[in-house]
Amino acid sequence: MNFPRKRVILAWHRWMGLVSALFLVVLSITGLALNHTERLGLDTIQINNRFILSRYGMAAGSEIHAYRIHGSHTLAHLNGQLFYDGQALTHGDLPLGIVEGDPISVVATATQLIYLSGDGELIETIHHSQLPYDKLIAVGRSGDDRPVLIAEEGCWSPDANWLDFDTYQAGYNVSPLIQTELSDASAATILDAFQGSGVSLYRVMLDLHAGRLFGWGGRTLMDLTAIAILLLVSSGIGGWLRKSRRKTPSIS
């Protein structure tokens, strides 16, 4: 069934107005709140909601992997972050090997070598662009107990200070890292360190107002809402002008 052109335009105008109104409510509420940030204390309120934290990449969505280092200390990995005894250490991949030494201990990941002092202080992080390989596969030990870095391109043996790397072609043994169990309190400490104090309500409101809270989809919806509002305003003004012309009496 074919509807008259005017009825189709009115229906389209009505539905676009209803959908846009929902987003206008969000824009209005968040805009009012942001204009009174200090009075409402938005920058002092911290959000620790799991969904909100996940939008900022701060939710713990995977298992904590923990390993013993320096005797009774713990090296843990959670969502691309390394922790030493519950304290944030650096960003890094899952450890493939831990080589303890004096005065330097080395945590080897697929793309990094992380140098630590004997008390767990971060000395330096060396990325694969500064190393003789692109991606590490495993860490082994030579027959005389020297560390061997094993990659697809070959094997390398570092010097005592881990500054120079010589190619290695002899035999070696690989022992996988053994994980250790964490107590509930230790796991909670690592999770708190990973999430920090949360995200401020001001930041959440600002990103909700701009649509950034939901990534590119949210930004696209806000852009489409703005375009829809402009179309509604322009079509409304156009309709009003047409009615005004029809009502204006002609002067003979």
CA distances from 37 to 24, 109, 220 (A): 20, 43, 26
Answer yes or no: do 78 and 185 share one domain.
yes
Query: What is the structure's pLDDT at 57?
Result: 63
Non-local CB neighbours of 133 within 8 Å, separated by 6+ positions: 149, 151, 152, 153, 154, 156
Tell me, what amino acid is at 188? A
Query: Is 148 contained in some domain?
Result: no
Answer yes or no: do 112 and 24 share one domain.
no
Query: What is the structure's pLDDT at 198?
Result: 64
Query: What are the backbone angles phi and psi of residue 81, rounded to the nearest 5°?
Result: -125, 135
**Beta strands 136-142 and 87-91: pairing type?**
unpaired
Structural domain tally of the chain?
Answer: 2
Query: Is 48 contained in some domain?
Result: yes
Query: What is the structure's pLDDT at 176?
Result: 85
pLDDT in tens, the chain (252 residues): 444 566 666 666 666 667 667 777 777 888 888 888 888 888 777 777 777 766 766 655 568 899 999 989 999 998 888 999 989 899 899 999 999 988 899 999 999 999 999 899 999 999 989 999 999 999 999 999 999 999 999 999 999 889 999 999 999 999 888 999 988 888 888 887 777 656 777 878 888 777 777 767 767 777 777 777 777 677 667 667 666 666 655 554
CA distances from 97 to 69, 75, 124 (A): 11, 11, 17
Spatial separation of the C-alpha atoms in residues 58 and 79, rounded to whole Å: 9
Answer yes or no: do 49 and 64 share one domain.
no
Answer yes or no: do 114 and 180 share one domain.
yes
Range of the domain at 131: 60-137+174-195
Query: Is 251 contained in some domain?
Result: no
Answer yes or no: do 88 and 179 share one domain.
yes
Instruction: Write down the pTM of the prediction.
Output: 0.60
Query: Is 143 contained in some domain?
Result: no
Spatial separation of the C-alpha atoms in residues 103 and 81, rounded to whole Å: 24
Query: What is the structure's pLDDT at 123?
Result: 94
Answer yes or no: do 94 and 131 share one domain.
yes
Query: Is 146 contained in some domain?
Result: no
Q: Which residue has 């992997």 as its token pair?
A: 65
Query: What is the structure's pLDDT at 248?
Result: 57
Answer yes or no: do 47 and 92 share one domain.
no
Query: What is the structure's pLDDT at 1?
Result: 47
Answer yes or no: do 115 and 191 share one domain.
yes
Answer yes or no: do 112 and 79 share one domain.
yes
Query: What is the structure's pLDDT at 149?
Result: 96
Give, in degrees to the nearest 5, the angle at Cα 225 between 221 and 230. 150
Dihedral of CA 91/92/98/103: which sign?
negative
Answer yes or no: do 127 and 206 share one domain.
no
Spatial separation of the C-alpha atoms in residues 179 and 65, rounded to whole Å: 7
Query: Is 33 contained in some domain?
Result: yes
Query: Is 101 contained in some domain?
Result: yes
Question: Strand, helix or coil at 163?
Answer: coil
Alpha helices in the chain (DSSP H): 5-35, 37-40, 50-55, 184-195, 201-210, 215-247
Answer yes or no: do 184 and 119 share one domain.
yes
Query: What is the structure's pLDDT at 24?
Result: 75
Answer yes or no: do 80 and 124 share one domain.
yes
DSSP string, 206-252: HHHHHTGGGHHHHHHHHHHHHHHHHHHHHHHHHHHHHHHHHHSPPP-
Query: Is 217 contained in some domain?
Result: yes
